[in-house]
Chain A
Amino acid sequence: MNRRQLLLRGTAAAALGGLGISNQARATTRPTKLVVVFVNGGWDVTMGIAPRLDDSFIEGPRVDELADVPEDVEELGVYGDLHVALNDCDVVRHGSKVYTKRPNARVFFDKWSSQCCAINGVWTGAVGHEPSTIRMCTGTQSGINPDLGAIVSHEFGANVPLGYVAIAGLPFVGPYAASSGQFGFNSQIKVLFNKAASFPPPTEVDSSYPLFLQSEADEAAVQAFLRERADNWSKIRGDNNLNSTKISDLYESYDRSASFSAMTSDCMDTLTLGRSPTLDRQAELAADFLSLNICKSVLIDSKGAWDTHSGNFSQHAFYNSLYGGLDTLMSSLESRGILDDTLVVVVSEMTRTPKINHNLGKDHWPHASVLLMGAGVRGQTSLGDYNELMESMKMSLETGEVSNSGDQLTYAEFFAGVIEHLDIDPEKYLPGITPFRGFVA
């Protein structure tokens, strides 16, 4: 059975039996849905899930405390074995500047710490954004390989309209592009789903869009024509190899674009053409799509200019927004009844140097932390660690306990562990890599 047949079978089943096709055989702690929140630019985890408040070498968030503002205090939040940095100060006025600290952190962890596992000390193997992003998102050194969302889509997404949806940010789809869809930088997907969505042409152009608005019958006639043509083309150029793969992708894209369009038109109404959706809105859309079984994995973007080579203090505000968005995400997943089925991965390509530079910023640091939440995750747990120089410490890949006799946790073991937790054989994607299992409940 090829991918097209699988998709068609799944689409028919969904049409007959409703949207939800749950895998009853799967253990209840195994997630079947995935949300990846990508923190683009490199977060400073010392003011997040790897708190460093009193280190002599590492310049953590206390360097930003304002002495003349008594309420601007960094605290260590302890939630079981989960340690996080907190600062309840909402708005700090210092001279003419206004700063926002991270009051949403306490709100978030008070509510969701039981779902949270922080993994610290993941070695990224690179210091540049692109190579680090590739490694952390694909578990490999090559951007032509699929990321977590694409793999979940490939493994679980045959019978949903679109396996993988990138609401914001852009995914690594590898060979599974035909099961993936992107909303674009400023919600431009809306135009493709709704041709009546208007946007003005340049001033010297007389006409206005759309120039040809087809009825449903018009579109159906064209689609039938195209499928016949594709059948013909397949006979001429199919080869049981690369050609056939591309032709199969065409069929799959026809099917998925049609079913995705049909199921998401209401959701699209909440997007504003020309505007990127907020993190809160992305979170709600992600929960909607997953709960309606429109897709199996979603990529959302944390927003914020996290690459703080200057003015590292701006990360406080980004964190505050991130925690607010994560709260919305978890609440949305819970209210739709899918939190127990969903794994949430909050990941950045790197963290930042332990020292503040001369521009009051922090540079790239080839170590990373990841926050995992949701289905089957050990809650209130911090695994791995950084040493006093902010270097990744060795740990047991089985338990996540720091151990001199352990191994260095790299992007590859982390990635293999996550896909194994998703009940996907990691050998298929990362042969020979030992999965990291410490976060599994």
Chain B
Amino acid sequence: MRYSVIILALLACGVDKDASVGIRVEQPVVTEALSNSDRLLRISMALRGVRPSLQDYQTLEADPTQLEFIVDRWLNDPLFGETLKDMYAEALLIRADTEPILISAGPIIDVPSDQVFEAMSESSLRLLEHVVMSDQPFTNIMTADYLMANQTLSLMYGTTYDENGPEWQQAEWLDARPVAGMLSDSALWMRYPNNGFNMHRGRAAFVAKTFLCDDFNTRDINVASGIDLSDEEAVAEAVTTLPTCIGCHQALEPLSSFFWGFQIDIPRTRQNQAYNDYNCAGEYGDACYPLVFWRPEQEDDGADFGLQPPGYYGAPGDRFSDLGQFIADDPRFASCTARRFHAYLTQGALLDAPESQINLYRDALVGSEFSAKALARAVVLDPSFAVARQVDGIEGPWPSIQVIRPEQYERTLYALTGFRLRWRPGTSYHGTFEDVNLAITDRFGFRAMSGGIDGLQVTQPTHTPTPTKVLFMRYMASESAGYVVDDWVAGGADGKALFTEIPQPLSATDNQIRDQMVNFHARLLGDHILADDPEIDRTMALYQDAITRGLSENDAWKQVLSALFQDPRMMFY
């Protein structure tokens, strides 16, 4: 039997959702569990974005108790670090590559815009990756006294950098800014500029939403009685006196006050002026590299505007570093982190999972001294993660089938074939772009068009097939197939790694071809079937059809692979 079917009767909080209001009701839900191999596939895709190896499948088949050991190994795989970065890129909205990118000038004049963008967008994500993969407490993302920098970033920000060290390495800020892990990252606050007379309120709201799941923006504001939002004094008074404002602002105002010292923004246009018109002199000097984005002398400037002193939900604070520590110590940080991991790994909504389930994951995090690996482990090994489909009842909060994300698809195809879809767009008004990975970017690529977010206009991923996702996968599949078959024919390593059953392209016997099909179905799709299975017949027919129509053996293989790379078992897992 290809699929072991286990019927689980689970009593849990099902969700009976009205189109807009989301009412929760308690309902029994009967589900069918995944087979062991399909469970392994789902876990591998969720944690690493690539398929399991055949050896992992075989290990689990021989001894199902090995699942936890395999998961532990995967949690130490650098690909899990990539997943973590993807997860928090979605939370921070930091990979917004359609935004104007800082200019290549001064010490980085020869650095193309795609690398400038990478330096800025990846720093905070790399810090998070480093914290988790080096087994530090996850709270260190809020408290670490270092940043992660590459050479470009160190030149842009003026941080320490060891040219003999790894490309991305631990570094220190040289401007004496208070350290609070990723919260100290200038790039984060350039992504969230302090517009006009906002007085850092937007930044405070972002921090509360992202790390505490306390989203001020879900509440409508009500500006009334002639408050001019461009009059800082009027606003400062209103938020502390008007009943319609106090509800949110009694928490938001003191949070905002932590951010004084960080600059408003350094737009690309100002940099161009600084370099081209003012020779980096005077007030324009801040916009030249190394950027001046922290001014210690402005740390207390909030008081000049009559704003409240820094504070954290009623507790008084002082410097920015206190904010990081407050968040790390806040029980909501653990709960929110548990929610974020669960939502990302299951492709659910952040607030959909019931509190009781989140509490289990939170306990796994807190009980392991804030090991994010333990948290991820708890989520993917939970029985609810292994649901294949619902047999009866209403929609539950657990995952059913998941849909491959663009980042996962890119990683999967690269792991299988060595192919990446890269473009050199060249120079335009927006900069010089030398090497752009089209699958995971948006300025020139297809990330948001294939279900991802662009971090700016699309801030929620789409976890279902769409016409443009289908077209994107069709394109990627045929190009990957074209690349890897050509490489195989040329004797390249990528081709040899994929075609394990056929040593010579033009001398394959029918049995070898069929064996290769069996191998592809297992490795690419997680279909562990025998050579006489009707599904193999179907794939063989696709190959034979190509030969019959006059295609070469090589192109027939490209046909087969272009189909398997966009198979429903590739789209869904």
Q: Chain A: residues with CB nearer than 8 A to chain B?
A: 40, 125-128, 130-131, 133, 140-145, 162, 169-170, 173, 177-178, 180-182, 184-186, 188-189, 191-193, 195, 199-203, 205, 207, 209-212, 214, 217-218, 221-222, 225-226, 228-230, 232-233, 236-239, 241-243, 245-247, 249-250, 252-254, 256-257, 260-261, 274, 307, 309, 353-357, 359, 361-366, 389, 391, 410, 428-431
B27 adjacent to chain A (CB < 8 Å): no
State whether A239 touches B391 (Cβ < 8 A): yes
A354–B231 alpha-carbon span in the complex (Å): 10
Contact call A212/B479, Cβ cutoff below 8 A: yes
Interface of A is mostly: loop
Partner of A189 from the list B3, B443, B449, B538 (CB cut-off 8 Å) is B449
Establish whether residues B20 and A430, one from each chain, have CB atoms under 8 Å apart when the complex forms: yes
At the interface, yes or no: B504 with Cβ under 8 Å from chain A? no
A260 to B205, CA, bound (A): 41
Please state if A355 and B467 are interface contacts (CB–CB under 8 Å): no
- A229-B568, A309-B195, A389-B228 given as contacts; is B454 within 8 A of A246 (CB)? no
A353 to chain B: which residues have CB within 8 Å?
A: 196, 228-230
In the complex the two chains form, is B226's CB within 8 Å of A391's CB?
A: yes
A199–B449 touching, CB < 8 Å:
no
User: Are the CB atoms of B568 and A226 closer together than 8 Å?
Assistant: yes
B462 within 8 A of A: yes
Chain B residues whose CB sits within 8 angstroms of the CB of A355 once the complex forms? 228, 230-231
Query: B535 within 8 Å of A by Cβ?
Result: yes
CB distance from B198 to the nearest CB of A (A): 7
Please measure, in the bound complex, the distance between the C-alpha atom of A12 and the C-alpha atom of B301, giving whole angstroms: 68
A97 to B549, CA, bound (A): 66
Let me know if B76 is at the binding interface, CB within 8 A. Answer: no
Contacts of A133 in B (CB 8 A): 457
What are 8 A-B interface contacts by the 8 Å CB criterion? A141-B220, A144-B349, A180-B466, A202-B434, A210-B478, A217-B549, A363-B196, A363-B197
B interface, size bucket: 35 or more
Answer yes or no: B59 CB below 8 A from chain A CBs. Answer: no
Q: Are A192 and B446 in contact (CB under 8 A)?
A: yes
A141-B218 in contact (CB<8A): yes
Instruction: Given A239-B391, A243-B400, check contact A130 B459 (CB 8 Å).
Output: yes
B551 within 8 A of A: yes
Query: Smallest CB–CB gap between B375 and chain A, Å?
Result: 24
**Which residues of chain A come closer than 8 Å to B545, judged between CB atoms?**
221
Q: Does B358 touch A at the CB level, under 8 Å?
A: no
Per a CB cutoff under 8 Å, which of A169, A237, A410 touches B388?
A237
Most buried by B among A217, A236, A391: A236
- Complex: A181 Cα to B451 Cα, angstroms: 11
Mask, B471-482, CB within 8 Å of A = 1, is 110110011011
Q: Knowing A201-B422, A218-B559 touch, does A128 contact B567 (C-beta < 8 A)? A: no
Answer whether residue B558 sits at the interface, using C-beta atoms and an 8 A cutoff.
yes
A410→B546 CA distance, assembly (Å): 59
Q: How far is the CA of A225 from the CA of B564 in the complex (A)?
A: 9
A127–B229 CB distance below 8 A: yes
Which residues from B are CB-within-8-Å of A140? 20
The answer to whether B466 and A192 have CB atoms under 8 Å apart is no
Min CB distance, A295 to chain B, in Å?
A: 11
